[in-house]
Amino acid sequence: MFVLGIDPGLTRMGYGVVEKSPAGIRAVAVGVIRTDKDQRVSERLLELHRDLTAIIKEHAIDAAAIEQVFSNHNRATATGTGRASGVAMLALAQAQIPVVEYTPSAVKMALTGYGAADKQQVQRVVQMRLGLDAIPKPADAADALAIAVCHVQAAGLQIKLDKAASA
């Protein structure tokens, strides 16, 4: 099963693809889709859509998870992030890929057991779980892998709960 994790952003959208198999979990692809802040917003959203659609096709994605948009601090950033999140969900829906949203604290809790863990703690757990030589850079890419790993864990838990309920 191939899972795509997305850390939405209008200037930088992080993505991480992991494969879950009986042998475990491994990173397949990680990176950032960048847009030029001097372009019109509509052009930037189109660019995000095109690039994300290509990633979905290239890696035969089965499921996706995206960080839920939430910001108390900067209205402009929240607006751009919300737009980018919507474009990501559209691309996934067009490819008929189920998508789940996770709050940042849910991702932190799933990976570290502590919902207020700092970014470095989460990144180190991702590095260890995926057997990576280094923490992916930039942080948007590392966050996207964390979201994908969170979803793999949540999906595994749901399967166990379903089996227990039917027993």
Question: Which positions are catalytic?
Answer: 7, 67, 140
Distance separating alpha carbons of residues 94 and 86, to the nearest angstrom: 12
β-pair type (12-21, 24-34): antiparallel
Task: Indicate the burial class of 22 (C-beta count within 10 angstroms; 0-12, 13-18, 19 or more).
Answer: exposed
Cβ atoms of 11 and 35 closer than 8 Å: yes
Using CA atoms of 123, 128, 133, 138 in order, give the dihedral in degrees to the nearest 10: -10
Distance separating alpha carbons of residues 68 and 24, to the nearest angstrom: 26
